Amino acid sequence: MAIKTDAVGKTWPPFEYEVGREKIGEYCRVMGIENPVHFDPVAARDAGFRDVVAPPMFCVVYSAGALGPAIFDPDVAMNFAAMVHGGQEFEWGEPVCSGDMITTTGRCLEIYEKDGRGFYVFESTSVNQDGEQVVRGVWTNIVRGV
């Protein structure tokens, strides 16, 4: 059976996330990231940031919510139970600081079949309250036995 590709090009409603100092700290403590610019507003400002700054991979915290609806969308028709996260890319722009309001839009880039597996590729584009792009992500999910 050919894989369903109707959802290629589809976008989902923007997902908004307000970045908070404590959430950045929580993420950094799990990751063992100790640079004070992630915890202390004075250290962050001394280093040229507006407030406590998020480490780059904090992007998963504010952007993943844009792709939740995509994964369960019947147009995508992805078998969630047989899905694994196969690959991930991020490209960063403006740093993200506490107090920023980040808006992320999700889009389906590609759906294709290879060696009996389905590849579902999504894009997330995140901008801050000034319209500056902070990160673009490409998320590849692989479904076995399509």
Partner 1 sequence: MSQFSPGDRIEELRVTPDKYVPHRYAGASGDFNPIHIDPEFAKAVGLPGSILHGLYVMGLVAKAGAVAVADGDPRALKKLSVQFRGMSFPEREIVVSGEVTESDGERVVLDVVATQGENQVIRNATAELAVPSS
Nearest approach in angstroms of CB 88 to partner 1 is 6
Name the residue with tokens 């998020």. 54
Size of the site for partner 1 (CB under 8 A): 32
Nearest CA among 37, 33, 63, 59 for reference residue 50: 37
Q: Which residues, other chains included, contact 63 with Cβ-Cβ below 8 Å and sequence gap of 6+?
A: 15, 17, 102, 104, 124, 126, 135, 137
Which one, 44 or 127, has the nearer CB to partner 1? 44
Compute the residue count for the chain: 146
- Build a one-symbol-per-residue string for 116-145: x at contacts with partner 1 by CB under 8 A, - elsewhere: ----------------------x-------
Stretch (H or E) spanning 119: strand 117-127
Which letter does DSSP use for residue 132 in this model? -
Per CB under 8 A, which of residues 48..107 are in contact with partner 1? 53-57, 60-61, 64-65, 84-92, 95
Nearest approach in angstroms of CB 23 to partner 1 is 8
Which one, 6 or 18, has the nearer CB to partner 1? 18
From residue 133, alpha-carbon distances to 111, 114, 126 in Å are: 25, 33, 6
Per CB under 8 A, which of residues 12..51 are in contact with partner 1? 23, 26-27, 29-35, 37-38
Residues near partner 1 (CB under 8 A): 23, 26-27, 29-35, 37-38, 53-57, 60-61, 64-65, 84-92, 95, 138
